[in-house]
Amino acid sequence: MTLHFTRNRTALATAGLLLAAAAPTAYASLDTEPAPVIAPAPTRGTPYVETQLFFGTERPDGGPAVSDRQFMAFVDKEVTPDFPDGLTVQNGRGQWRDANGKIEKERSYELILLYPVKAAAASDRKIEEVRRAYEKAFAQEAVARVDDRTWVDF
């Protein structure tokens, strides 16, 4: 009977240790809510590229800032002929570090272009021409560019 009593005590002790080890994990999982199930975004439309261009208005040479009238004339002449299907221009306030290390804060414009992925190679060339034309016309160090693939439905 002593042997049987010792086995029972050993089994109970082992079960107690297992419960003690597992309890913190079990209680911790009660404190957290299950992760929400997020449905994937529907793929509606056609694959497009969205390009954002950021144009500063202050001139590093100290000349007058680019005016709204000058910028819109630039868009009419340099952008619209190559992107006649549409574009968006937004006013902004931006800042960046210039070639001399100075942080420039200035009024700016964001130009958004959408074009089909199949037209990306031709559009890339045209966009680079727009960037260089603005830099030259208004003595700018750079025009920032951001490209992203997306789905568009009109």
CA 17 → CA 3, 5, 6, 11, distances in Å? 21, 18, 16, 10
**Reported confidence tier of residue 99, pLDDT bands at 50, 70, 90:** confident
Strands 103-116 and 144-152: unpaired
| CA 137 to each of CA 43, 55, 87: distance values in angstroms, whole numbers, following the listed order | 40, 12, 21
Give the closest residue to 88 by CA, choosing from 72, 73, 103, 67.
72
Residues 121-144 have pLDDT tens digits of 999 999 999 999 999 999 999 999
Q: What is the pLDDT of residues 26-62, one digit of tens each?
A: 555 555 677 788 877 677 899 999 999 999 999 888 8
Share of the chain above pLDDT 70, in %: 78
**Mean pLDDT of the 2-29 span:** 55
Helix (H, G, I), strand (E, B) or coil at 104: strand
d(Cα 73, Cα 67) in Å, to the nearest integer?
A: 10
Radius of gyration, alpha carbons of the chain = 31
pLDDT of residue 147: 98
Q: What pLDDT does 48 receive?
A: 96
pLDDT value for 16: 57
Q: Is the dihedral of CA 104, 105, 109, 112 positive or negative?
A: positive
State the pLDDT confidence band at 106, using cuts at 50, 70 and 90.
very high
